[in-house]
Structure 1
């Protein structure tokens, strides 16, 4: 980086745990290097499936207390990653997790996808005006894997950033096809793996020729793993004595933990972005 002032990074994620799953290494890397990192979370993740049996009654169809619990998980994850500036879009609890495509929770009045689009984009723009980020990160047009809240997060971020002269680059976070397949191949040799391996094409990936930026996060994987463990209702992390590690969501599918995170430049000058979100910005 050659910025004379501390670089300012803003990330827009749909639910608690998305920041760690998608961008945990990136957040930890830039925070450790002195960047001002702002995380915006759009919902409390109330519709998530609960992994630990002892916490099952938190779920939406039981006591419906999962959102508050996940707020605590997110606070712990932010501490692990070095995030000191976290905001909920519109204030904590303003919009509710919509759930996956086609489920009844999509129609709840407070669901994020039922919210007023202009209000949501305006709320994000107000944060952008205050923080004045150089770089903004969110999902691509498909939300990474089609979740309605991820898609809405992409849409409002696109609109809000287009109205700000401070934002110099917007990136979409993606997963690398090559790195994911290599990671799964390595996991296939691990004998004591507690999860099932994904079937070919089961994990969402992006062809590597579409990827513009590869952020090395090998030195920050410990922080990412601590953040993932903080989200105990949503994620389980496994490591063995030989140094192998992976994680799984409630579906029990092993997902590799790779040493880079991957991005596509959506807007801004491309010079210097091969391995640094802020590369070439002066």
Structure 2
């Protein structure tokens, strides 16, 4: 891939993802792939592009929508959320999913490892920080180079053309999202692959540092996005479609926060050294 003179064009990431044979999307928890990239992944899948999703944790520390799990249920939450992510990915047209730390997303010669959800707490309006109870096996507490090695093993196995992940704000600052950003950037760099960042802010007019994000709409992803989000009955409630702007879906999270999930995605090419 030639760099050309000067700064890369902000349109380039869209050319990269839409001409790829395989795109690897790196996410932190079940539901992130739908909330952050659902419209995009459905669009890419509909175009015949093979999409692979890897999830770092099982979402064990997430809150639960009241009434979504029976009081006498014995199934562990991580198994419930594993089923939810599989249903969501099927709705998006994604048929290949891996968990980081399990082969083939596991460093050669290593025993399987489990990256636990680090949890979070709100440290400001709309901004998350690490949980005080995050244990030693949480994604943010285990060695970063180990996690890069596991993701690198998956890249060698799946041979994607591009790696897709969060920008350096990690959507809303969740510590697992921030770690996923650094791990994905490092693994992509180790393989000489472009790392495409997804904008944390859905507003195309938002000010950003460095290379701006290029936004595109995915209007044909409406049904797939809503179906994927409805798969997460333990984590959120779908309130209905968005009628204005690019369209999309509004959801309410367990803590009562409302989120508009638009049929629009901003992408930029991660610059080396960022």
TM-score band w.r.t. shorter chain: 0.7 to 0.9
User: Partner of 2:94 in structure 1?
Assistant: 83
The equivalences for 1:211-222 within 5 A come to 211-222=212-223
Tell me, what secondary structure is at the counterpart of 2:270?
Answer: strand
CA distance in 2, matches of 1:54, 1:135: 37
Alpha-carbon distance, 1:86 to partner = 0.6
User: Partner of 1:114 in structure 2?
Assistant: 141
User: Partner of 1:68 in structure 2?
Assistant: 79
Task: Say yes or no: does 1:103 pair with 2:107.
Answer: no
CA distance in 2, matches of 1:147, 1:241: 25
Counterpart contact for 1:17–1:231, Cα < 8 Å: yes
CA distance in 2, matches of 1:71, 1:150: 18
Task: Say yes or no: does 1:25 pair with 2:25.
Answer: no
Alpha-carbon distance, 1:222 to partner = 1.0
Residues 189-247 of structure 1: CA deviation (Å, up to 9, x unaligned):
xxxxxxxxxxxxxxxxx537864221321111110110011011111111279898511
Structure 1 stretch displaced more, 153-162 or 90-99 = 90-99
TM-score under structure 1 normalisation? 0.75
Counterpart contact for 2:28–2:55, Cα < 8 Å: yes
Counterpart contact for 1:15–1:44, Cα < 8 Å: yes
- Runs of 4+ aligned structure 1 residues displaced above 3 Å come to 1-6, 175-179, 208-211, 240-245
Unaligned runs of 5+ in 2: 1-14, 103-111, 121-128
User: Partner of 2:153 in structure 1?
Assistant: 126
Counterpart contact for 1:52–1:232, Cα < 8 Å: no
User: Partner of 1:173 in structure 2?
Assistant: 198
Cα 1:36–1:65 change in 2 (3 A) is same
User: Partner of 2:6 in structure 1?
Assistant: none
Cα 1:159–1:208 change in 2 (3 A) is closer
Tell me, what secondary structure is at the counterpart of 2:172?
Answer: coil
User: Partner of 2:256 in structure 1?
Assistant: 252
For the aligned residues, what is the CA RMSD?
A: 3.0
Residues 245-265 of structure 1: CA deviation (Å, up to 9, x unaligned):
511111223222322111232
CA distance in 2, matches of 1:104, 1:4: 41
Cα 1:93–1:17 change in 2 (3 A) is farther
Counterpart contact for 1:171–1:267, Cα < 8 Å: no
Tell me, what secondary structure is at the counterpart of 2:170?
Answer: coil
Residues 147-201 of structure 1: CA deviation (Å, up to 9, x unaligned):
1111111111111111103x2x21221244536x9xxxxxxxxxxxxxxxxxxxx
TM-score under structure 2 normalisation? 0.77
Tell me, what secondary structure is at the counterpart of 2:136?
Answer: coil
Tell me, what secondary structure is at the counterpart of 1:24?
Answer: helix
CA distance in 2, matches of 1:170, 1:84: 22
User: Partner of 1:189 in structure 2?
Assistant: none
Whose helix fraction is larger, Structure 1's or Structure 2's? 1
User: Partner of 1:48 in structure 2?
Assistant: 62
Counterpart contact for 1:38–1:85, Cα < 8 Å: yes
CA distance in 1, matches of 2:17, 2:116: 37
Structure 1 stretch displaced more, 206-215 or 91-100 = 206-215
Counterpart contact for 2:18–2:49, Cα < 8 Å: no
